[in-house]
Structure 1
Amino acid sequence: MKMKKYIICSLLLSMALASCDDFFQPETTDALSGDDYMSSTTEMATGYLGILTKMQAVGDKEIYLTDTRGEMLEPTDQSIAELISIYNYDDDLTGNSYADPAGYYDVIIACNDYMRNMEDFIANYPEVVAETDYFDGLYASAVRVKVWAYMTLAEIYGQALWFDDPITEVKDVNDASIFTYMQTEQIVTKCLELLTSNISVQVNADSVRTISPSTDFSWRLWIDPETSEANSVYRYWDMMTPPAFALRAKLCVWKAAFLDARGEDASVYYRLLCNSLQTKFKSYWASYTHYWKRCPTTPGHYSAFWNNSTPYQEEVVSAIIYDYTKNQTNKLLYHFSNEYPNKYLLRSNESARARFSDTSVDPLGTQTQDSRLSVITKETDELWYISKYRPIGSTVRTNAYQDDVHIYTFRCSELFLWLAEALNHMGRYEALNRVINNGFGTGDYDMLLAIENGEYNPVEDADSINNYNNFYDFHSYWAIPTSTDRYGTYNGFRGCLSLGAVDIWVGSEDGSTGHTHAEAQRHNDELLANEWMFECAAEGKVYPNLIRMAERYNDPTIVSSRVAPKYEGSATGVTPADVTAKIGSVNSNSGVMGYYVPWMLK
C-alpha cells in the first residue's frame, strides 16, 4: 500500500495544550509564550501531555491490525470491509484507515517536536532548568515514547521511515537528508542505541547536559507530592510512559533473534535482557510494591488485569489509560462487545478456542480447560465475544458504552516469557523449566540464596556447579515463603494456574541429552510461541512475537501453522492455503514478508 507522498502534520503547539484539562487540570497561571513554546517548568510538563494524547489515539490500533490477522479474531456478520480486508491478508490496503500508520508517525512527530522545544528551553532558560529535577525525566520520557512508537511500527509493518526532524511543515518523504528507510532489524538496532547510550543536550557553546534514557518523571511528585503513592490518583499517569528496562528487554530479544538467524553470537543481548529483568524483579519483590509473580493469588485476580477501573497494580509495567468522563476513549468495546450501542465487528474463532482444551499443545494438569479462555472470550445468546476487557454484567464498567478500558503496553507476564526465551537460548534449560512450568518452592530457598551471595562451597560439587550455570542471576525472592511474602512463592507461569507442565527439552553440544542445543531451542521456542497465544490473546502481542520466532528461524510456518487453521471454512472464502502462501512470501507492494501488514513506504 502506498504512503502519502508528503507527511502533513498538524500544529503541534495546539496539540500540546488541547488535552491538558482532560488529564490533570493543574492549577497554573503559566501560558505558552508564542514562538518560544516553553518558558516555565510547568510548560515542560503540560507540553508532554500532548505526546500522551497521541499515544491514546493509537492505543488499540495494534490489536485490530495484528489479532485480526492472527490466531484469535475473525469478522462477525456485522463487520466492515476494511477489517475483512485485513483478515483476508489482502495485498493492497490502499485507503484502509485501520492499516494507515499515520497515527504512529503523529506520536513520533510529537516526540521530536517536544524534544526540540526542550532543547530550545534549556538554551534560553538554563537557570530555570538548573533549579528543577523535571527536565531530564521529561526529555528521557519523550525518547522512550519515540522508541515505543518505532518498535510498534517495526513489529506491525516490518519497516518505517526514521526521522529526528520535528516536521513543522510539509516535507517530501523521499528527502534522504530527513528520512531514512529502515526495516525491522535496523529499527531495533537504532532504538537500542537510543536506550543504551546517554543523551547529550547542548546547553550553550561550552556546556552539554547528559541525560540517561532511563530517567523517570513522576506526575505524582510534580502535582501531588504530599499524597502517598498508594493513595494518589496520579500514580496511574506514571504508568503511561514505557520504562526503559521493559523497552530494552523487548529490543534485546528481537535483536538476538536476528543475530541467531545469521548464526552470529547473540549472548550479549540475552545476558542484558536477563540482568535487566532480574534486577527489576528483585527490587520490586524486595519492596513488596508489586508482586510481579505468577503465584497462588494469580488465578483469583486474573480477570481483574483488564476488568478493573485502572491498570492492575500487580501486573502493570506500563499502560495507556483512558477516562470516559474526560472524553478519553478507545474503541475496544465498540469492536468486541455485542451489547448495544457497540458494533460487534470482531469475535473469537472456534479453532483458537479449541486450543485451550487441546492437551497436545496445552497440557491441562488438573483442569479440563485452560482457565484463561473463560476470561478472554465468552458466549452469550449463541454469540462469542471478546470478554477480557469488559464481560457482560461487569460491575466495573456498568454501561456497555464506557469504552475506556486501559491497554497494557507492557505487562509482567510478557517479561516472564521474554526471560524464558533468553534462558532457552543461553542453554539454561532447568531455569527455563522452572520459570515456565512449576516455579520455585520453599525448598529452593537455600539454593537461590547461595547463588545470590555469589559463591558455592564446595565449588567442585556437581549439583552446585549445575545450579550456578542455570540459576546464577536468580535470587532468593523467587522462593520466599508465604510467611514473609504476602503473595507467596513463584509458582511458575503455568503452574500458578494448575496447568500441566510443557515438555522442556534439554540440549547439549553432542546431543547426549537426547537433543542438540539447536533442536532443544527450536522445540522450546515453539512451546513459548504457544504460550503467547494462551496468555495474550486479543492484546496486539501474540502475532508480533510469532513474527520474531519466524525471523529467528527464517521459517514463516511458525506463524502460518498457528494462524491458517482459523480460515478453514471461512465465510470470506479465504482458505488456509491462501493465508499460508501469503505469510510465506514477500509482499509485492510493501517489499517485506507477508506476515507484516503491507504498506508501501517508498
Structure 2
Amino acid sequence: MQNNMKFKISPVIKTAALAVLLSGSFSCKNMYDVEPQNQVEYKNVYQNIYDANAAVMGIYGKLLGLAQQYEIMNELRADLMEVTPNAGAELQQINTHNVQAGNSFADPQPFYAVILNCNDVMKNLKIMYDTQKLTANDFNQRWSDVAALRSWLYFQLGLHFGEVPYVTESLTNAADVRDASKYPRLTLDALVKTLITFMEALPFKDPYPAANSLVTQIDGYPSKIFFINKNCLLGDLYLWNNDYHNAAVVYKRVLETSTPVGPSDSYNYFNTYTLNSGTDNDAVTVSNWQALFSRSPQDREYQTEWIWSMVFDKAFTPENPFVNLFANSGGSYLVKPSQTAIDNWNAQAQNDGTPFDYRGPNTSYKIINGQPVIVKFLYNYLNTSTGLPINLLEKSGKWFLYRTATLHLRYAEAANRDGQTKIAWALVNAGIKSAYDDLNQPDPTLRRITLQPTPYDFDARKLDAPSIRGKYHRNLGIRARVGTTLLPVTFQQDMLGMENKIIDEAALELAFEGNRWQDLMRIANRRNDPAFLADKVYNKLLKDGNPAAATVRAKLMNKANWFLPFK
C-alpha cells in the first residue's frame, strides 16, 4: 500500500444518531451518518442496545459508499458492460485491464475503511456483552451480522486483488495494515478457506428475527432487506472452494427460508419461481419482470425476489452514484451495456419462436436518445415509458446485491457439479414437475419427485387421491418464468455443457448486478482454463472495436493478471 494511504476509523457514533435511536424515531439520514461531528467520549458510546443498533447501521451506511466501485470492478472488468466515449482514463484502464497507479476504481482503501470500522464495532459489541450491556441473543445476532459483512468485504477484495492482508483487529493506527510482519497477505484461495472456517463458527447465521429492534421502518423502507444473508455468502464461499455439496446444503436452506413478508410469514424464496394465479408469479410479463427493479421494497413481490438490497434516498447521503454512472440524461453516461450483452438477449427466443428475451431490451437496458442505457438501477429516477428523468434533482434508487435468481443459479451450479445435473437442468429450465414427470412410472405417488437425499429432495407432486401437495408442485424454472425456449433434454446428462448454460443464463438474468466477474473467474479457475474468461473479455472488446482486444486476451491468459495491483 502507498505510504499516504489513510483510513478513517470512526470509533464514535454521531450523537444525533444515538439520540434518534434512543428516542425510537429512526431516520435514514441519521442512522447511516456515522461521521463524527458532535462527538461523545468513546467510552460513553456503547452503553445500550440502541447504541449497538446505531453502530451496526453505521457500518451499512459506510457500505453504501462502495456501490459504484463494486459495480465497476465486478461488471466493467467482465464482458457485459462497456465504456462510453464519456468515460475517463480510469474507466478505460479498468475496461482494458491496464490499471495504473492511483486509479480510484481499483483502490482497496475504501473497502479497508469499512473493514476496520467492522473490527471496531465487533470489538465493542463483545465488550458490551462481557459487561452485560447486551444479552447473548442481542450480541450474537449483531456481532454475526457485522462479522459476515466483513467476510463479504474480504471476499470482494480477494476476488479483485488476489492477495490481501487479513486484519481482524481493531486498529488505532491504520498504517499497521501495511505491516507484512503483522498481517501477511493471504492468497484468494487461502482467504476463502479462512473465511469459510470463520463463517461456519458464527453463533448466528439466520436473518434477524422479526422481534429484533433492528428490523424496523427507516424513512419508509423496511430495514430487514438491508442486511447481508449469511448463508448465501457461505454458499458462495463453498462454491468457490469447489465444495459443491455443502454449497447446495446452505443454498437449499435459504431457498426454503421464509421471506420477510408473505401470508403468515410463510412465503419462501423458492416460491418466486412458481406458476400461480394472482401476483405470486410476478415475472411472467415484460412489465412485471421490469417491476422487480422498480417496485416498492415494502411489497411481497420485492421481498421475495430480493434477498439483499439497499436504498439511496434523495433525503440522505451518500448520493445515488448510479445516475451519474448510467444515465445519459441527468448523469454523465460513463458505461453502457456491451454489444455482447445485447447479442446474448437477441439470440434468445420466446416459446412461440419469436426472437426476443424481455430481460434485455426495455428492462435491463433501454435505447434513450439513440444510446443504449443500463436502466436496471434507474427505475426510481427515469420515467419507464419516455426514459427521461422524473425529476433531475431527485436521485433515489436501489443497490441490488443478491436475489432469488442468483440463489437458484448458484444452487444449480453446485448441484450440477455434485452429480445432480438433471436437477440443475430442471431449475434452470422448466422446473421440477416437468423434469420428473415420468409417465412410465405406474405409481403416481412416485412421479414428480426427485427421490434424492437432502439437499436434492424436491417434491413437485399434486394429487387428490391421496391428497398430496408437494411444496414444489408449482415450481417453474428460470427460463420458463420468462417464457424463453427451453434447453434440450441432452443437457440433463452433460455436466460441462450444463455449467456453460448456467453461466450463460446468469448473463441474461443477472446482467449488471455485480456478479459477472466472480462468475467468470470461478468457472475459469475451477477448470484451470484461463481462456474461459479471457475469450469473453476479448469478444466484448473486439465487438466494440477496441484495438487492445488481442493484447487484453493474451494478458488474461495468465491467471496472475486477473487481479488488480494492490497498492
TM-score (norm 1): 0.78
CA distance in 2, matches of 1:389, 1:556: 31
2:129 is matched with which residue?
122
1:311-326, aligned counterparts within 5 Å?
A: 312-326=302-316
Number of the residue aligned with 1:272: 249
Match for residue 531 of structure 1 among 505, 508, 526 = 505
Q: Deviations over 1:356-385 (max 9, x none)?
A: 1225xx786644211100211111221111
Instruction: State the AA in 2 paired with 1:188.
Output: V
Partner of 1:100: 107
User: How many angstroms does 1:56 deviate by?
Assistant: 0.6
User: 1:429 deviation in Å?
Assistant: 2.1
Name which of 404, 409, 412 aligns with 1:417: 409
Identify if the C-alpha distance between structure 1 residues 168 and 571 changes in structure 2 by more than 3 Å, giving closer, same or farther: farther
Change (3 A) 1:152 1:11: closer
Q: In the alignment, what sits opposite 2:226? A: 240
Shift of 1:25: 5.5
Residues 328 and 18 of structure 1: is their aligned pair in 2 closer, same or farther, counting only changes over 3 Å?
A: farther
1:522-561 pair list within 5 angstroms = 522-561=496-535
Match of 2:195, SS? helix
Q: CA shift at 1:216, angstroms? A: 4.4
Contact 2:417 2:495 in 1 (8 A): yes
Match of 1:332 in 2: 322
**Contact 1:173 1:179 (8 Å CA) reproduced:** yes
Structure 2 unaligned regions, length at least 5: 21-26, 32-37, 276-280
What residue number does 2:24 align with? none
The CA deviation at 1:43 is 0.9
Q: Does 1:580 align with 2:553?
A: yes
**Alignment partner, residue 290 of structure 2:** 303
1 or 2 for the larger relative contact order (CA 8 Å, sep ≥6)? 1
Aligned amino acid, residue 276 of structure 1: R
Q: Which residue of 2 aligns with 1:42?
A: 50
Establish whether residue 354 from structure 1 lines up as the match of residue 331 from structure 2: no
Rounded to whole Å, the distance in 2 between the matches of 1:271 and 1:393 is: 40
Q: CA RMSD in A?
A: 3.8
Q: 1:178 to 1:277 in 2, by over 3 A?
A: same
SS in 1 for 2:376: coil
Match in the other structure for 1:167: 171
- Say whether the 8 Å CA contact 2:231–2:251 is kept in structure 1: no
Say if 1:270 and 1:426, in contact at 8 Å, map to a contact too: no
For 1:219 and 1:328, how far apart are their aligned partners in 2? 27
Counterpart residue number, 1:595 = 562
CA distance, structure 1, for counterparts of residue 192 and residue 462 of structure 2: 34
TM-fit CA distance, 1:431:
1.2
Which string of whole-angstrom CA distances, capped at 9 and with x for unpartnered residues, describes residues 180-206 of structure 1? 3112211211111121114xxxxxxxx
1:445 Cα deviation after fit: 9.2
Identical aligned pairs, as a percentage? 18
Give yes or no for contact 2:449–2:460 (8 Å, CA) kept in 1: no
1:251 is aligned to: 237
CA distance in 2, matches of 1:219, 1:425: 36
Q: Displacement, 1:83?
A: 0.6
1-structure distance, mates of 2:317, 2:504? 37
What residue is the counterpart of 1:207 in the other structure?
none
Matched residue type, 1:432: A
Aligned 8 A contact 1:55 1:320 in 2: no
Identify the residue that residue 378 of structure 1 maps to in structure 2.
366
Whole-angstrom CA distance in 1 between matches of 2:473 and 2:318: 37
**Quick check: 1:252–1:273 contact (8 Å CA) kept in 2?**
no
Contact 1:270 1:425 in 2 (8 A): no
Task: Give the whole-Å Cα distance in 2 for the aligned partners of 1:467 and 1:337.
Answer: 46
Q: Deviations over 1:26-71 (max 9, x none)?
A: 8xxx995433531222111112222111111002322112321221
1:269-307: CA deviation from partner (whole Å, max 9, x where unpaired): 345345434543799898126533264431332112222
- Shift of the alpha carbon at 1:321? 2.0
For residue 6 of structure 1, report the CA deviation from its aligned partner. 6.4
1:343 counterpart residue number: 332
1:484, distance to aligned residue in structure 2 (A): 8.8
Partners of 2:66 and 2:488 lie apart in 1 by 38
Amino acid across the alignment from 2:123: R
Gap change, CA 1:565 and 1:401, over 3 Å in 2: farther
Are 2:436 and 2:448, in contact at CA under 8 Å, matched by a contact in 1? no
Q: Name the CA shift for 1:18/1:369 in 2 (closer, same or farther; >3 Å).
A: farther
- Do the aligned residues in 2 keep the contact of 1:19 with 1:53 (CA within 8 Å)? no
User: Where does structure 1 lack aligned partners over 5 or more consecutive residues?
Assistant: 199-211, 226-230, 257-265, 448-455, 508-512, 514-519, 587-591
Report the 3-state secondary structure (helix = DSSP H, G, I; strand = E; otherwise coil) of the residue aligned with 2:536: helix
Match of 2:64 among 45, 56, 76: 56
The 3 A distance-change label for structure 1 pair 491 and 272 is: closer
TM-fit CA distance, 1:549: 0.3
Matched, 1:399 2:380: no
C-alpha distance after superposition, 1:454-476 (max 9, x if no partner): xx999xx9x78993248873344
Paired with 1:572 and 1:166, the residues of 2 have a C-alpha distance of: 45
Please say if residues 292 and 315 of structure 1, whose CA atoms lie closer than 8 Å, have aligned partners that are also in contact. Answer: yes
Q: Which residue of 2 aligns with 1:10?
A: 8
Which residue in the other structure is 1:158 paired with?
Answer: 162
Matches within 5 A, 1:138-153: 138-153=142-157
Residue 574 of structure 1: CA displacement?
1.8
1:138 to partner: Cα distance? 1.1
How far, CA to CA, are the matches of 1:236 and 1:196 in structure 2?
28
Query: 2:358, 2:418 → 1: CA distance?
Result: 31
Q: Within the alignment, does 1:467 sit opposite 2:450 as a pair?
A: yes
